[in-house]
A and B are shown apart, each in its own frame.
Chain A
Amino acid sequence: MSTTSFETTAPLVAAPARSRLPLHIVVFLAPALLIYSIFSIYPLVDTIRLSFYAGDQTGAQHFAGLDNFRMLLSDPTWSGQFWNALRNNLFFFGVHMVVQNGIGLGLAMLLSLPRLTGGSVYRTLIFLPTMLSVVIIGFVWQLMLNPLWGIAPSLLKAVGLGSFFGPWLGQESTALITISLISVWQFVGIPMMLIYAALINIPDDLLDAATVDGAGPFSVFWFVRLPLILPTLGVVSILTFVANFNAFDLIYAVKGALAGPNFSTDILGTFFYRTFFGYQLQVGSPTMGATVATAMLIVILIGVLIYLFGIQRRLQRHTF
């Protein structure tokens, strides 16, 4: 290798000692890297590894390639449940996107009204359910909606809407939307807070300028505020997506692992639970469970990638 006169000059003597071993970087990164590797990266990788294996009655595992995935997607005993869970999960996500984030946006708009009194009280009250345990929320709503001793039938009767009441959590046609709305009720505070923070970040001058320009309240929202909070709406959407496809607790708390009636509230989380741990007559299978978990990972990964490369790049964060 040819050396230039630059490389042979004096500073070279001192330089390698500093650049060859950035010890402080290693020291600072090590704790996080270690913990993250042990508790997150290793289980993830091992789950993916496990999804390529199949077990027999003796518990011995052997490499099976993509057989598990083929079975999950096409074997009638597995695929019916898998597609059902995925479909339900998409519906669950759709309800959150439309209802939870829609109401969250509306509430944030109301909270940002300059003449609103008691805004911080509303904010706290609406955010409160978010901090409660999902098990408590599920239990309370189950009691309230109970057709025999719940408060919902008598409340509806009191306002003359008694005939509309049904055993919403028990009917195959209404159970999933009811569960979705319970979850919406609990978590509507999160999009509200995030969007509210974005809204109050927009300078008043900008809204005044739009008003002077002749924009009415709706136009100010549509042409000025909405475009400026789009990045936040994107973040809210992706958080909703990830949370919904990892959801499990509310359905397990209200309907148990069988996600009844007749699997109508079954989502990927509950389906995974039954597959991995087994439930009642179903025997648990770690390898099939790992396969379901990997499928969930892929679904979420696809969603996040679509967001990152398809949507986020077009959203511009604005500084004021």
Chain B
Amino acid sequence: MADVSIHGLAKSFGPVDILRDINLTVEDGEFVVFVGPSGCGKSTLLRIIAGLESVSAGEIRIGGRRVNELPPADRKIAMVFQSYALYPHMSVYKNMAFGLKFAKTDKAEADRRVRQAAEILKLSALLDRKPRELSGGQRQRVAIGRAIVRKPSVFLFDEPLSNLDAALRVNTRIEIAKLHQELGATMIYVTHDQVEAMTLASKIVVLNHGRIEQVGAPLDLYRRPCNVFVAGFIGSPRMNFIKGEVRGISNQSVTIGFAGAEMKVDLSGKDLAVGDMVTVGIRPEHMAEQGADAIALEGRVDAVERLGEASYVYMKLASQDDVVVRAPGEAHIAAGDLFKAYFSPRSTHVFDAEGRSLRMDVKP
């Protein structure tokens, strides 16, 4: 078992910077998820940790040991690929035992480990099959088995669920979470799906344009996003953003006008001046059809998405802002209706003109 620490890491392909100034510590036994939109550099970062890509600058340590110059096999890591990358000409057994052959593991010990991993992953009956005879979920388990048998300090997962269908994805997600509990190993997991990130991670790393935007526990990121990007990326449907303006600043609170409404929020106003432009963020689930809360936004309903347990109401305000509200599943709302959404100022997020959160309890 080992921790992973990354200092001042940068990677560029020719003139293109893929990653810039990455500093990150992954504690021993932690489940860290790299999440971000495609092209943000999350897979490259994972491949750098694996040793499949070189770095342009910076240092990587696994278990306290500098690994920059070590080949992948000597880093005590194992990787699960998006495409599973099973050797199509080898049986399940040989696929899992392949790495052990090069680690010079004793034959009997290798056999024991493969069978044990097969047991854990319910693959025992399939050991003689070729990958093409397996279903997607089974292939996925073989890929995980191939990682387990090597007893790595760090598991690396590169979008391992994106080739599975929705139902299987949920199952496998739970399997991976269980696996993490059983093995207690350090795991680093890359995904573009924020639901996977929220459900699996003990720590989420949000990446965008080759930079780390924020690092924190899932609920921390959800409650206290440090900027507009993280606020919009974490949570589904995404947070509503409405342009607003600072109307007044007093001790410990700021009055903001937006979309025809006005609210007083507890913010430090020291970096603000009256007339500054801000962005107000409200999550769809923090708005309700009715409520005692003071603030309301009124608009015309464009569309209603009914999911059963909830309905998403898409409405357009008089200020032309689009707002999504999570309403109860049975709400009697139809497109074309006038709709009023209530929310508490305490559940809003306020971002300055550069997109940084102005809330006092937020740390990047």
Interface residues of A (CB under 8 A from B): 203, 205-206, 208-216, 219, 223-224, 227-228, 316, 318-320
Determine whether the beta carbon of B88 is less than 8 Å from that of A211. Answer: no
Inter-chain CA distance A167–B154, complex, in Å, is: 65
From residue B170, how far is it (CB to closest CB) to chain A in Å? 24
> Among residues 74 to 92 in chain B, which have CB atoms less than 8 Å away from a CB atom of chain A?
77-79, 81-83, 85-89
Given A205-B83, A219-B102, decide whether A212 and B89 contact each other with a Cβ distance below 8 A.
no
Interface residues of B (CB under 8 A from A): 47, 50-52, 71-73, 77-79, 81-83, 85-89, 98-99, 102-103, 132, 146, 150
Q: A209-B79, A211-B71 are in contact. List 7 more A-B contacts (CB 8 A).
A: A208-B52, A208-B79, A208-B81, A213-B99, A214-B73, A318-B88, A319-B132
Which residues of B sit under 8 angstroms from A213, Cβ to Cβ? Answer: 73, 98-99, 102, 146, 150
Inter-chain CA distance A146–B103, complex, in Å, is: 56
Inter-chain CA distance A61–B82, complex, in Å, is: 72
From residue B16, how far is it (CB to closest CB) to chain A in Å? 17
Determine whether the beta carbon of B82 is less than 8 Å from that of A211. Answer: no
Determine whether the beta carbon of B78 is less than 8 Å from that of A212. Answer: yes
The contact of B85 among A206, A214, A215, A228, by CB within 8 Å, is A206
Greatest chain A CB density within 10 A among B72, B77, B82, B146 is at B72
Which residues of B sit under 8 angstroms from A206, Cβ to Cβ? Answer: 85, 87
Given A316-B89, A318-B89, decide whether A210 and B81 contact each other with a Cβ distance below 8 A.
no
Which residues of A sit under 8 angstroms from B85, Cβ to Cβ? Answer: 203, 205-206, 208-209
Determine whether the beta carbon of A212 is less than 8 Å from that of B132. Answer: no
Determine whether the beta carbon of A203 is less than 8 Å from that of B83. Answer: yes
From residue A114, how far is it (CB to closest CB) to chain B in Å? 12
Inter-chain CA distance A320–B132, complex, in Å, is: 9
Which residues of A sit under 8 angstroms from B83, Cβ to Cβ? Answer: 203, 205, 320
Inter-chain CA distance A214–B78, complex, in Å, is: 10
Which residues of B sit under 8 angstroms from A223, Cβ to Cβ? Answer: 87, 98
28 contacts between A and B (CB under 8 A): A205-B81, A205-B83, A205-B85, A206-B87, A208-B52, A208-B85, A209-B81, A209-B87, A211-B52, A211-B71, A211-B72, A212-B51, A212-B72, A212-B73, A212-B99, A213-B73, A213-B99, A213-B102, A214-B73, A214-B102, A215-B102, A219-B102, A223-B87, A316-B89, A318-B88, A318-B132, A319-B132, A320-B88
Which residues of A sit under 8 angstroms from B87, Cβ to Cβ? Answer: 206, 209-210, 223-224
Which residues of B sit under 8 angstroms from A228, Cβ to Cβ? Answer: 88-89
Determine whether the beta carbon of B98 is less than 8 Å from that of A212. Answer: no
From residue B54, how far is it (CB to closest CB) to chain A in Å? 12
Inter-chain CA distance A219–B87, complex, in Å, is: 13
Among residues of A, the one whose C-beta sits closest to the C-beta of B99 is A213
Inter-chain CA distance A316–B131, complex, in Å, is: 13
Among residues of B, the one whose C-beta sits closest to the C-beta of A315 is B89
The contact of B98 among A203, A210, A318, A320, by CB within 8 Å, is A210
Among residues of A, the one whose C-beta sits closest to the C-beta of B75 is A212
From residue B117, how far is it (CB to closest CB) to chain A in Å? 14
Greatest chain B CB density within 10 A among A203, A209, A211, A214 is at A209
Which residues of A sit under 8 angstroms from B47, Cβ to Cβ? Answer: 208
Which residues of A sit under 8 angstroms from B82, Cβ to Cβ? Answer: 205
From residue A196, how far is it (CB to closest CB) to chain B in Å? 19
Among residues of B, the one whose C-beta sits closest to the C-beta of A205 is B85
The 7 lowest CB-CB distance pairs between A and B, nearest first, are A214-B73, A214-B102, A213-B99, A209-B85, A205-B85, A318-B88, A227-B89
Which residues of B sit under 8 angstroms from A215, Cβ to Cβ? Answer: 73, 98, 102
Among residues of A, the one whose C-beta sits closest to the C-beta of B83 is A205
Which residues of B sit under 8 angstroms from A212, Cβ to Cβ? Answer: 50-52, 72-73, 77-79, 99
Inter-chain CA distance A214–B102, complex, in Å, is: 6
Among residues of A, the one whose C-beta sits closest to the C-beta of B158 is A205
From residue B277, how far is it (CB to closest CB) to chain A in Å? 46
Inter-chain CA distance A227–B89, complex, in Å, is: 7
Which residues of B sit under 8 angstroms from A211, Cβ to Cβ? Answer: 52, 71-73
From residue A241, how far is it (CB to closest CB) to chain B in Å? 24
Inter-chain CA distance A192–B72, complex, in Å, is: 30
Which residues of B sit under 8 angstroms from A209, Cβ to Cβ? Answer: 79, 81, 85-87, 146
From residue B345, how far is it (CB to closest CB) to chain A in Å? 49
Determine whether the beta carbon of B81 is less than 8 Å from that of A319. Answer: no
Inter-chain CA distance A95–B87, complex, in Å, is: 33
Inter-chain CA distance A266–B103, complex, in Å, is: 54
Inter-chain CA distance A267–B86, complex, in Å, is: 46
Inter-chain CA distance A12–B298, complex, in Å, is: 70
From residue B110, how far is it (CB to closest CB) to chain A in Å? 13
From residue A242, how far is it (CB to closest CB) to chain B in Å? 27
Which residues of A sit under 8 angstroms from B146, Cβ to Cβ? Answer: 209, 213
From residue A51, how far is it (CB to closest CB) to chain B in Å? 44
From residue A132, how far is it (CB to closest CB) to chain B in Å? 38
Which residues of A sit under 8 angstroms from B103, Cβ to Cβ? Answer: 214
Among residues of A, the one whose C-beta sits closest to the C-beta of B152 is A212
Inter-chain CA distance A169–B29, complex, in Å, is: 72
From residue A227, how far is it (CB to closest CB) to chain B in Å? 4
Which residues of A sit under 8 angstroms from B72, Cβ to Cβ? Answer: 211-212, 214
Which residues of B sit under 8 angstroms from A219, Cβ to Cβ? Answer: 102
Inter-chain CA distance A316–B87, complex, in Å, is: 13
Which residues of A sit under 8 angstroms from B132, Cβ to Cβ? Answer: 318-319
Given A208-B81, A209-B79, A319-B132, decide whether A214 and B88 contact each other with a Cβ distance below 8 A.
no
Which residues of B sit under 8 angstroms from A319, Cβ to Cβ? Answer: 88, 132
Inter-chain CA distance A225–B131, complex, in Å, is: 16
Among residues of B, the one whose C-beta sits closest to the C-beta of A316 is B89
Which residues of A sit under 8 angstroms from B51, Cβ to Cβ? Answer: 212
Among residues of B, the one whose C-beta sits closest to the C-beta of A213 is B99
